[in-house]
Structure formats: structure tokens, C-alpha cells
Amino acid sequence: MKFSNSQALEEGKISRLNQLMEEAQVKNYLANNPDFLLKNPQLLTHMELNHGCEAATSLVERQIKVLRERNQTMQGQLIEMLHAAHNNEKLLIQCNHFMLELLQAKDLKSLCFNIRALLKKDFNIDDAALVLVGNYHQAEPAQVYDDASEIRALLKCQFPDSQPLCGRLEMEPKKALFGELSKNLESFALIPLGEECKHGLLALASSDVSRFAPEMGTLFIELIANLVTHLTKSYESS
């Protein structure tokens, strides 16, 4: 037992000696290279410097503090950008799969069914609804209207800029789009197909109240809407 304690003590001394030797090497290097920190100013953002003035902080210390805080802010922004890039890459892969699957449809009915099913599966939403405007037959589960004004009246929105709308929805249009399931749905993305719903509407729904918010980006859902419009229009009867 005594031998073990002695061994531990010796190891501690050796460790401390190694540390002192490393510190001495750093001191000698800095002494021989006094311009090292001038050539590598980025290191100052990771160092604590004290100029021995307790009553006031020197200008240098303030500058270094500002640089360190700026560095931390930039690192946080970089992490956010990487996170956004990862999410966008994931969405792009999902959109690509969605598009390829829709191209396999053999008729309008299977196309409409696949649109709804794939949106729910690939994008993890609770429900989706497709509304078409025009002369369509056997388009279930899509709803078909003769004129786009009927959709705008139902939703109480004219889609003046033809951009997707995200947020909450009143009970009447909720029920018209999603039926009895609407009572469990809290947030929605309404995506016009064509200007002012000229060709129809694609509606996405979630039970999560924060899933579709007014400030969210709509680039990917607009991409999906353009594809859905193109594919469904090819089945419209003349």
C-alpha cells in the first residue's frame, strides 16, 4: 500500500515537471518570437490578459473582450447556418423522392391518391387535401370545382399575390377541406395552384399549432405546387 502511494506521488511529480517544461518551452518561444501574437491575432480571442490595473479595464482588454464576444456570435451564426443547410438538404431529398414517385402514376385517380399519401408520409404531416379547378373525372380523393372563385370564397381569401399562406384556419374551410379530421388540425399551409388558385389548391395540415407559421419559408412547397399543377393539368378533359 505504501509503495502504491509513493508511486502515485512520483507520477504526480513527473506530470508537474512535464507541465513546467512545456510552459518553459512556450515562454522561450514567445521570448524569441515577440511578434507571434501580432502575426496571429485570432489567438487573442481565446486568451485572458490582465494588465494589472484593478481600478479600470485597459483599452486592450476591452478590445479583446469585444473580439471574443464577436467571435462567439459568429460561431453561433455559423452553427445556425449549418443547421439550416442540413434541413434544406433533407427537404431537397424529400422533394426529389416525392417527384419521382408521382411520375409513376398511371392515371388521375392514382396520381391524386399518391399526392395526398406521399405528402403525409414524406413530409410527416397529419393530412393533405387537393382541390382541382376544371373538367376532371375520377379524381378522387381530390375535390373538383368548376371555377377558382368558389375556392377563394370558401377560404375567404383572394390570394392577391398568388403566394402560399401559412397559419390558422377557421372551422368552416377546415371542415370543407379535411372533413371530420379537421377538429384535430391546428396549423395549415394553403398553396394556390396557378395565379389566384386558377388551377386549384394544395392544402397541408398539422395538429402542431406551430408547424405552419406565417413567417416560414415557402420555397419547397411552391416547388411541389408547380409539379402538382403540371401533372394534374395533363389529365384535364377538353
What's the pTM value of the predicted model, to 2 decimals? Answer: 0.61
Percent of the chain with pLDDT over 70: 80
d(CA 202, CA 162): 13
Among 102, 103, 104, residue whose Cα is nearest residue 117 = 102
pLDDT tens-digit profile of 129-163?
Answer: 999 999 998 889 999 999 999 998 888 876 766 78
pLDDT band at 181 (very low <50, low <70, confident <90, very high): confident
pLDDT of residue 3: 45
d(CA 206, CA 212): 8
The CA–CA distances, whole Å, from 222 to 115, 151, 165, 191, 232 equal 14, 18, 11, 7, 15
pLDDT of residue 17: 65
Residues in the chain: 238
Q: Across 67-198, where does the E strand assignment appear?
A: 127-133, 143-145, 165-167, 187-193
- Average pLDDT on 194-212 reads 91
Least confident of 24-38, 102-116, 179-193: 24-38
pLDDT of residue 13: 63
CATH topology classification for 108-233: Beta-Lactamase (3.30.450)
d(CA 23, CA 19): 6
